[in-house]
Structure formats: C-alpha cells, structure tokens
Amino acid sequence: MNVVPDTSVVIDGRVSATIDDGQFEGATISVPEAVVAELEAQANDGIESGWDGLEELQRLAELADEGVIDLEYVGERPNAIERGHASEGEIDALIRDLAEDLEATFLTSDVVQAEVARAKGLDVEHVSPEVREVGALTVENYFDEQTMSVHLKTGAVPKAKRGELGDMHYQAIADDPLDEETMDEYAREIVDAAKESSDGFLELSQPGMKIVQFRDFRIAVGRPPFSDGIEITAVRPIAQTDIEDYENAEELKDRLLERQRGVLISGAPGAGKSTFAQAVARFISDHDYAVKTMEKPRDLQVGPEITQYTELGGEMANTADALLMVRPDYTIYDEVRKTDDFEVFADMRLAGVGMIGVVHATRAIDALQRLVGRVELGMIPQVVDTVVYIEAGEVDTVYDVKTEVKVPAGLTEEDLARPVIQVTNFETGEPEYEIYTFNRQVVTVPLKEEEGGPGSESGVDRIAKQEIEREIRSIARGYVDVELRSQDKAVVYVEEDDISSVIGKGGGRITDVENRLGIDIDVRTHDENPNYGAGGGSAGASSDGGQAAGQMVTPEVTSRHIVIPVDGNHGETVEVQAGGDYLFTATVSRGGEIQVSRGSAIADELEQAIDRKDPITVVPSS
C-alpha cells in the first residue's frame, strides 16, 4: 500500500498516529518534497507549524528504522514561483498530482483538499484534526489569587504583577532564571493547547509573535528575531465586578439605559478600565440590550450572550461594517488608540449604535481631547456624551459633554458667542472645562483654578495672552510681553521703536486689535515693565545675568536639523516656546543643545516661527 500525505496532516501529527493505530502499518509512506519545502520555509520564518511538521517527519523516520513502515521522499522541490503561490493552491496541486501518478492513497486533514482530491478521482483518506482535552498549562502554576500577570523570559527570573487594583507590585516569584529549553517547552505547550483545545484559539499568529486566548488567560509568546529571547506574558483578570460596586452606580445605570450613548472609559494602564467595561457590558446586556464587542486581541471577560469580534480582513472598519448589519444596541470598543479607531468609533456612533470605548488617559479630560482633530469639533458631543475616568479600580470622575452657544468663560463681548463644548462634572453639576475655537485654534480651557494657588494663571488668561501676543507680534518687530490686568484689560510692552507701529495713526491700529479681541489694551515700552530684567517677563534676564523664567535663543537651521543652543540646563528637560506659545518638550544634551530633525511636524512649526521672527525661548520644564 502506498500513502501520500499532504502538509496539513504532517503538521497535525496524524500520519504517525494512524500508523500507531495499525491502519497504515507496513505501508510505504511517500512524502512529497513539496511538503518538506513548505515545512522548511515555515520553520525558517519562525512559524510553529513548520517545526511541528519537521518533528512529525522525524517520527516517521524512526518508525521506518523500526521496520514498521517504508519511508521515501518523492517528487521535485517546488520553485520559488510555486512556493510564492502556495496560498493559491499550487503546492497542494503538486502533491495531488504525485498521489495520482503513484496511484497512492491521498492522506489529508484539510477538508478542501479532500474534496478536490475526490473530485479528481483520487483515493482519499480524510482524518479530522484531533481535539483533545487540555489540562492546566504549566504557566498557570505561577499564578495565585492576587496575580494579574506573569512575565517569563529566557535568562531572566520569573516575575509577576501581584496585588489589588491600584496597588500592583512587579516582583520576582522565583529564585533562578529560566533557560531556553524550558521556555521553549512552555511556549510550545501554550500554542499546542490553543490549537487542540476547544477552550482556546490563536488570536494572532505572525512570525515571532503569537497571541493565545486560553480559557481566562491571554498569553503573548514572543520569539527571536521579533524579541531578543523567548518571552511569555500571561494575563488573567483578577477581579470581576458588578456596576453596583461603583460609586454613582444608580446615576450611571439610569444614564446608560435611558438611550444609546457614546461613552469613553478612560484611565491609566492597570487602573481597572477593562474590569469596569466588563461590568457595564454585563449590566446593559441583562437589561434587554443587544451587546457586541470589538477587540484586538479579545480579552474582555463577558458572558456567552455577548459576541466578541476582532478585526475583519485586518481592519476594524470592516468589522464595523459587519456589525451595522448585525444591529447591536451597544458595542464595547476595547483599546481605542489610533486615529482609525476613533474614526470607526465615531462612524458607528453617528449611525445610531451605542458605543462604549476604552481609552488610555492620565486625566479624564485627556480622553475627550483625543477626539479633537479626529472628529469635527461640533460633532464631538454627538459622538461622546459621557466620560468615565477610572483610578485604582474606582470611578473617580464622570463628565457630561454637551454643546451650548454662548460667550466662552472669560470673554465678555456678545459678538464672541460661539458653539462651546461644555464639560460638566456629573456628580456636582459644575462645568469644569470648555472647548471651543478661538482664532482658528481649538482650545481647552479649565474653568476651575488650577493647582498653584490664587495667584496662578488660569487657562483663559493663558489663551488671552497668546492671542494678544500673536496680534501684536504681527505688527511689532521686537520682543513683545503681555500682562493681563483683568478679563477685559491688558498691558502690552514693546520696544520703543515699535510704539508708533503698534498704536498706528490716531490709535487706529491698536483699536482694530481691541475690537477683534474684545479687550482694552494699553501699549507701553519695556522700560515701564516692573518685571522686565528682573525675571518676571517671558524671557527676562535675572539680575545675576542668568535667565529666570527662560532664555531667548537663536536656532541654527542646517540641512538635516534645527539646532537650538542652550546656555545651561544640560541634561534637564525644558520647554521650547515660540513667541510664548508652547511648541515641544525636550532634553538638553551634554553639549548644551537641542536637535530637531527637519521634516517632522515639530520642525516645520519651529521653522515657521523662525520665518515669522517669533522670539524662540527655552523655559525649564516645571
């Protein structure tokens, strides 16, 4: 009897299994060179199935040595073009042709291959891939009740994150480092379990990286050359909560059930965002809402009534299109990070689907600001009307987001009324931020006094100063400094040579600026500024010759970089400002300079400021 196996059955290890069962004992196993080439290519690419198949060939060689079977390799090795079209069936066709030429039994665990071979008149033996019960993984032994994640790597001591939400500690959990052989054994066990058990599946399979979902565990397995050693990171949720466990639960429940909403659940990594999202998903699912999830990878712990979707065709946009046909009431979008994610989130929300997105943010307002520039400003409250900020496993802040047409806080002229996004604290009912367009810029203004005491500059003050400076710098040639006296009065200090230019004939020019900004402006020289030269100005020099608030610098533009020379502050973090406007934060090199690569967005903005002759200032970062 002659048997020709294809690649699928060799990878599954079912050739030797059928021989052990006595079905093909004494047969001649003719392995096509095309199978060997395909397995070799997969192994070279770091794909686990290639190694599995090569191990099966070794087992067949051992069975041949024992006289159980005869083993031969037949056919020609496929060329590069044929290997390149393997996904289109070229390799499969070569293997079937060999089976036909040898009048052999064609052995496969691929349903499509079996049906095609039968259609061509071959004698086909189809064996289904074996699914077996898989017990506990070895990596599970590193977990206890307080372990959220386990981190293993070749040559390193095993570590874990243990504790409670908000109080996690990254600690060693063994004395000795793991060797490569042990790590390889762990990695193979995890991948095999995902393939063989109905409790697991491969979420991602790429050369050098596999992500496995196995029961409650999400396990990432990295291999060289993607990682510098075999690394396994296993994560398991340590808490499952109900929405009633959180403060403001009743108000939040009423809000979620009132109608489909757009909600951002935000917080720092490990704060408990996903745990809260799971509680929300279970709650709304239990109250007659159809709930789905969009995740990559899928790691939310939800009930079987909630279907978890991942990328379709490699894009979440395709998943969204499919979900619109499924018509969920709410969709949980885990890990909204990139611009594409926000656009998909917004499209689904505007299509009428309730959307709950999980976003990394260190402040509640930061989650909302990440929509700015990605979604048209006026549409933001229609996309997101609720922001929930999680800290240490608790609901720290809930914001209500809505639009009003009003004069922004801190401005007084009625003709300055415009659409303003008002961000209100859900618990206190007090507005905390306003987001609006001011002189073609989108600004986020805090309405409460920031940390630093009564004398600290408010967000409105900073915006007003920036706009006044921008207007005056378009007229003056020298340095400009602005002092706000009240919400509708300011003093502008300029060089003596610029006084006449700024004021204009009969005061007409400064009057135009006042009308545009809705603020009274008094123009004076720097000599009349009590803080000038004493560290109080935006770039005033201190009495000892150093720079108190910042130093004015002269950048040098080279073919590849913009070089900013800095006197002092070596190794320190500083802010680079153009005309008082923040540009970016950088670290001063030991050589006393900051280099910015030309062609970047930051460099373009800096070059524009240099062309406008804006004063470039370096200010120590607070």
Average pLDDT over residues 185-213: 84
534 within some domain: no
Q: Is 257 in the same domain as 374?
A: yes
Q: Is 230 in the same domain as 248?
A: no
Count of beta carbons in the 10 Å neighbourhood of residue 407: 16
Q: Residue 126 pLDDT more than 80?
A: yes
* Average predicted confidence (pLDDT) for the chain: 83
* Confidence class for position 454, pLDDT limits 50, 70, 90: very low
Which CATH number does the domain housing residue 487 bear? 3.30.300.20
453 within some domain: no
* Confidence class for position 621, pLDDT limits 50, 70, 90: low
Residues in Cβ contact with 110 at an 8 Å cutoff, skipping those fewer than 6 apart: 6, 8, 9, 92
Model pLDDT for residues 535-562, shown as the tens digit of each residue: 444 433 333 333 335 688 888 888 788 8
For the sheet containing 159-164, what is the strand order? 167-172, 159-164, 147-153, 231-235, 217-222, 209-214, 200-206
In DSSP terms, 213 is beta-bridged to 201, 218
Cα-Cα-Cα-Cα torsion 73, 121, 13, 25, nearest 10 degrees, comes to: -70
Q: Pairing state of beta strands 330-333 and 354-360?
A: parallel
Which has the minimum average pLDDT: 415-419, 490-494, 534-538? Answer: 534-538
Identify the pLDDT of residue 449.
57
Q: Is 522 in the same domain as 585?
A: no
Q: Is 463 in the same domain as 568?
A: no
Identify the pLDDT of residue 66.
92
What single string gives the DSSP state of each residue in 498-523? GHHHHH-GGGHHHHHHHHHHTSEEEE
Model pLDDT for residues 253-275, shown as the tens digit of each residue: 888 898 889 999 998 877 888 88
Share of the chain above pLDDT 70, in %: 89
* Confidence class for position 81, pLDDT limits 50, 70, 90: low
Q: Is 211 in the same domain as 253?
A: no
Q: Is 262 in the same domain as 343?
A: yes
499 with 448: CB under 8 angstroms?
no
Average pLDDT over residues 447-471: 63
| Higher pLDDT among residues 32 and 85, named by residue | 32
Mark which of 192, 209, 235 sits at the end of a domain: 235
Burial (CB count <10 Å: 0-12, 13-18, 19+), residue 157: middle
Identify the pLDDT of residue 452.
43
Mark which of 207, 235, 263 sits at the end of a domain: 235
**Three-class secondary structure of residue 19 per DSSP:** helix
Average pLDDT over residues 317-321: 94
158 with 173: CB under 8 angstroms?
yes
| Higher pLDDT among residues 517 and 315, named by residue | 315
- From residue 231, alpha-carbon distances to 147, 156, 192 in Å are 18, 10, 16
Residues in Cβ contact with 108 at an 8 Å cutoff, skipping those fewer than 6 apart: 5, 6, 8, 9, 114, 117, 124, 125, 126, 127
Identify the pLDDT of residue 458.
56
- Among 355, 309, 318, 351, CA closest to 336: 355
Average pLDDT over residues 570-578: 80
- From residue 210, alpha-carbon distances to 38, 230, 231, 522 in Å are 20, 11, 11, 66
* Confidence class for position 607, pLDDT limits 50, 70, 90: confident
Q: Is 146 in the same domain as 275?
A: no
95 with 4: CB under 8 angstroms?
yes
Mark which of 528, 563, 585 sits at the end of a domain: 528
Identify the pLDDT of residue 537.
43
Q: Residue 613 pLDDT more than 70?
A: yes
Residues in Cβ contact with 191 at an 8 Å cutoff, skipping those fewer than 6 apart: 48, 202, 210, 212, 221
- Among 94, 4, 77, 89, CA closest to 41: 77
Q: Is 477 in the same domain as 406?
A: no
**Three-class secondary structure of residue 349 per DSSP:** helix
For the chain, how many structural domains are there in total?
5
Q: Is 277 in the same domain as 185?
A: no
Q: Is 473 in the same domain as 399?
A: no
Q: Is 356 in the same domain as 405?
A: yes
154 within some domain: yes
124 with 106: CB under 8 angstroms?
yes
Which CATH number does the domain housing residue 360 bear? 3.40.50.300
User: What whole-number distance in Å separates Cα of residue 513 and Cα of residue 498?
Assistant: 15
User: What whole-number distance in Å separates Cα of residue 562 and Cα of residue 177?
Assistant: 46
What single string gives the DSSP state of each residue in 357-420? EEEE-SSHHHHHHTTBTTB-GGGHHHH--EEEEEETTEEEEEEEEEEEEEPPTT---GGG-EEE
132 within some domain: no
Model pLDDT for residues 142-180, shown as the tens digit of each residue: 999 889 899 999 999 999 998 876 678 889 999 999 999
Structure tokens, 225: 């050359």
* Confidence class for position 451, pLDDT limits 50, 70, 90: very low
* Confidence class for position 610, pLDDT limits 50, 70, 90: confident
Which has the minimum average pLDDT: 31-40, 150-159, 191-200? Answer: 191-200
300 within some domain: yes
> Could you tell me the end-to-end alpha-carbon distance of the chain, in angstroms, rounded to an integer?
81
Q: Is 616 in the same domain as 561?
A: yes
500 within some domain: yes
545 within some domain: no
Which CATH number does the domain housing residue 188 bear? 3.30.450.90
Which CATH number does the domain housing residue 8 bear? 3.40.50.1010
22 within some domain: yes
342 with 374: CB under 8 angstroms?
yes
Which has the minimum average pLDDT: 303-317, 402-416, 439-453, 519-533? Answer: 439-453
Domain around 595: 551-620
Identify the pLDDT of residue 543.
33
| Higher pLDDT among residues 234 and 82, named by residue | 234
